Chain A
């Protein structure tokens, strides 16, 4: 079955810096999403990564803080900009249309655990 990978798997960053997280799928997918899971909380959708156009952001999330790119059907990046300790979370990408998977289901990458000091 297809594989979803994320880089880095974890990072510790200083306040005010930015981190770019990569999501790579080994087959083309229809849709890609970015989620955040803050400590002790559930998964919250940040945005839908649209191939070749601007991402669609959920309420409470803005492009300046979380710029997203999706240059093709297998790859996306999420940048967490000007980080503060409140950004410490697990960031997850998910995809739809995964080869070998159900067409009606999102499949998740392993996540990136970010700690901001």
Chain B
């Protein structure tokens, strides 16, 4: 049973446009959510996170939106740059770093120059 879902395996976006990556979760006990970016041959890099007490968190070009009632979160990248091309993993946990983090299957983003 996949608790964290990313239904789009891949996404292509023109440079300068907005990239929207979606994530759904099933476990209502999750209250902390993270996005990681992964380049080939490298480990995942932490990008941005959001606690369930918030519905939005912004960091530069990256914004994460959380809709708890829908058990849905999304990552917006504006404007998209070619260097953003990577696999993006959505992850969720029970609230602290000591809780098990469950990762989604990832979405491969390609930003086309």
A: residues with CB less than 8 A from B are 4, 30-31, 41-45, 58, 92, 94, 96-97, 101-111, 113
On whether the beta carbons of B97 and A41 are closer than 8 Å, the reply is no
B18-43, CB under 8 A of A: which get 1 and which 0? Answer: 00000000000000101010000111
24 interchain pairs, CB-CB under 8 A: A4-B43, A31-B97, A31-B98, A42-B103, A42-B104, A42-B106, A45-B100, A96-B98, A97-B97, A101-B46, A104-B32, A104-B49, A104-B96, A104-B97, A106-B46, A106-B97, A107-B46, A108-B36, A110-B41, A110-B42, A110-B43, A111-B41, A111-B43, A113-B41
Given A94-B43, A105-B97, A107-B46, output 4 extra A-B contacts at Cβ < 8 Å: A43-B44, A96-B97, A104-B49, A105-B34
On chain B, the residues within 8 Å of A106 by CB distance are 46, 97, 101
Q: Main SS of chain B's interface residues?
A: loop
A109/B97 contact (C-beta < 8 A), A42-B104, A42-B105 known: no
On chain A, the residues within 8 Å of B104 by CB distance are 42
